[in-house]
């Protein structure tokens, strides 16, 4: 039986997806939800592309490099917004996004 192996990129993408989903959910509970609107949007978009990227990579999609490149851009975009907010969940999300972007760039090259 073959062992299942997950690349560092796939792991980073799934961790980032979970962090972004958690951040978006936590932002909805903030007192100033309106102020968090852009953060929520970016987190939800980032969570989706990260899942797609991890899945594409695991099935050796011929589009993995392109998806990884887009994922890195979207992670940068999300991190850029999250670092603006002092909430711990936003700061943690930004870190996961930065790590994912770095792993995706390695895969895309």
Return the HEC string of 17-50: HHHHHHHHHHHHCCCCHHHHHHHHHHHHHHHHHH
pLDDT (tens digit per residue) in 59-77: 889 999 999 999 999 999 9
Average pLDDT over residues 41-61: 95
pLDDT (tens digit per residue) in 95-104: 999 999 999 9
pTM (2 d.p.): 0.92
């Amino acid at each position: 039986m073959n062992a299942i192996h997950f690349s560092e990129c796939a792991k980073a993408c799934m961790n980032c997806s979970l962090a972004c989903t958690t951040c978006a959910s936590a932002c909805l509970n903030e007192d100033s939800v309106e102020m968090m609107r852009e953060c929520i949007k970016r987190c939800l978009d980032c969570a989706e592309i990260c899942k797609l990227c991890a899945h594409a990579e695991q099935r050796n999609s011929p589009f993995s490099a392109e998806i990884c490149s887009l994922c890195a851009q979207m992670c940068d975009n999300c991190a850029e917004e999250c670092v603006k907010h002092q909430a711990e969940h936003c700061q943690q999300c930004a870190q996961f996004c930065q790590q994912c972007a770095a792993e995706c760039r390695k895969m895309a090259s």
